[in-house]
Copies of this chain bind each other. A is one copy, B any other.
Amino acid sequence: MSEQRFFNLRDETQGIFRKLAEGMTTRIFPGDNVTISVVRLAPNAAGAVHSHPQEQWGVLLEGSGVRIQDGTEHAVRAGDLWRTPGGVAHGFRAGPEGALVLDVFSPPREEYRRAGSGFEA
């Protein structure tokens, strides 16, 4: 049982690295039914609005920002949790101090099992 199952969100050496956009990188932790993505945004960095068939949940772990979802801007603060059903257009823009976001996808994002760049949505 050599597969690693214990990690830390703030250990930048862990996970599969992916650059999502300018100033927006993630580390991917793939599971059987879920993909975990730990997204770091530089101050004021933003990811383009996009959609994918997977359901997504997000948690703002640090910082602040705006979650764009279904055409509406939602100001979010640390501890906020949101659900994005599959197919709903969404994006994120970090506040002036940047942001750390935990994203959960299910079914898994198969295209995220390998290092790469972009949302691939």
| Residue ranges of A at the interface with B (Cβ–Cβ < 8 Å) | 1, 5-10, 29, 31-34, 36, 38, 54-55, 57, 59, 67, 69-70, 74, 76-77, 79-86, 102, 104, 106-107
Contacts and interface: CB of A to CB of B under 8 A. Distances in A.
A39 B70 CA distance: 29
A74 to B, nearest CB: 6
A76 B6 CA distance: 9
Given A1-B70, A29-B83, A70-B1, A104 B8 contact: no
Contact of A7 (B6, B8, B10, B82): B82
18 contacts: A1-B70, A6-B67, A6-B74, A7-B81, A7-B82, A8-B79, A9-B79, A31-B55, A31-B57, A31-B83, A32-B55, A33-B33, A33-B106, A34-B104, A34-B106, A38-B81, A57-B104, A106-B106
